[in-house]
Structure 1
Amino acid sequence: MKLRLFYALWPAPEVRDALSASARPLLEACRGRRVPKRNYHLTLAFLGRVPEQRLDEFHEAAGQVAVEPFTLRIDRHGHWRGPQVAWLGCSSPPAAATRLADNLRAALEPLGFKPDPRPFRPHLTVLRGCRACDFEGEIAPVEWPVSSFVLACSETLPAGPVYRVVWSPG
């Protein structure tokens, strides 16, 4: 069986609540399908469909990636027309976040992972199917302390996608 997998930063419940509160003005001003708070995450590397029997290889490779603790300051919002998403992000991403994403992607390449050639831009999707977003206001900044990452699985259910953690280092 193949699983749809991605490595991500996974917020603690209190950070998840703060992100939800921060996103509220954006969600109220823009149309689209709201991403449920339980699905909030920040993708480091999207693997796609991976045979379940290869999970140990990925766990071993990712387990070699050190995490230098950092804090993400989620303090801006935006809209991408192509994928039709509204997002929250960082106006000044910490270098440690970029190093983590780059090091993880490099560790996965020998396993056949083809990293996105675009530079890492930390963002958290809060709306999908968002054709336009005219929200010009500010969002309340959220401090997100990061000291680890997870491997998550995306399952499509009749009620919508559900993400669950299938691995975390340590």
Structure 2
Amino acid sequence: MARLFFSLKFSETQQQQLLAYQQQALSLCPQAKAVASDNLHLTLFFLGEVDAQQQQRLVAAASQIDRPAFVLTLDHLACFAKPEILYLAPSQIPAPLTALQQQVAALCKAEGFNDIHDKYRPHVTLARHAKCPPALHRPLAPLTLQINQYALYCSARQDDRLQYRPLHCFSLG
């Protein structure tokens, strides 16, 4: 069994761009624990524990998704009180992201997985254990990213560090 999730796949350059926003956010909420730059992602669907056969079926189904590449603009910094997460999000969710997330969610649900969230709120977690003041919810200078891929990721501890490793990448376009 592996702990898996579907997420947008950011390039190394995009992760470095996100890192600049993370540093800005941490200056406003310094006690928060930064997410490692190679773990920055935007979840489409969290699966949890998945066996090898389920994983094969999920990959086969996801390979059939034919969605266009799209532009994602992240321009809003905020916190979730529970769990204590400092995040970057789009103020306007692009329709292609919504369509991709709905297709991924449908194939996951067809495989018997349930969404643990009642409403999809796309965001990039920048830091955890963030006790943020209400004034922290603010617009930021937009970060515009070209999204060309999404991936099935594995969440695992390696060398006492949580790592998100892409198992299968899927092209958009």
TM over 0.5: yes
- Deviations 1:69-111 (CA, angstroms, capped at 9, x unpaired): 2111011110011110000000111011011001111122221
Amino acid at match of 2:40: Y
Partner of 1:94: 94
Partner Cα separation in structure 2 for residue 116 and residue 66 of structure 1: 25
Partner Cα separation in structure 1 for residue 117 and residue 24 of structure 2: 32
Scaled by the length of structure 2, what TM-score is found?
0.90
- For residue 56 of structure 2, give the secondary structure of its aligned residue in structure 1: helix
Asked if the contact 1:62/1:108 (under 8 Å) is kept, the reply is no
Partner of 1:25: 24
Alignment identity in percent?
28
Deviation at 1:15, TM superposition (A): 1.1
Partner of 2:75: 75
Alpha-carbon RMSD across the aligned residues, in angstroms, is: 1.7
Partner of 2:37: 37
| Residue 154 to residue 32, structure 1, CA distance change in 2 (3 Å) | same
Partner of 1:122: 122
Scaled by the length of structure 1, what TM-score is found?
0.91
Partner of 1:147: 148
Partner Cα separation in structure 2 for residue 41 and residue 48 of structure 1: 16
Unpaired segments ≥5 residues, structure 2: none
Partner Cα separation in structure 2 for residue 22 and residue 117 of structure 1: 26
Moved more, 155-164 or 65-74: 155-164
Partner Cα separation in structure 2 for residue 12 and residue 34 of structure 1: 19
Amino acid at match of 1:3: A
Partner of 1:60: 60
- Deviations 1:100-152 (CA, angstroms, capped at 9, x unpaired): 00111112222111124523221000111112245366533211111221000
Partner Cα separation in structure 1 for residue 47 and residue 59 of structure 2: 13
Is it true that 1:132 corresponds to 2:126 in the alignment? no
Report how many residues are paired: 169
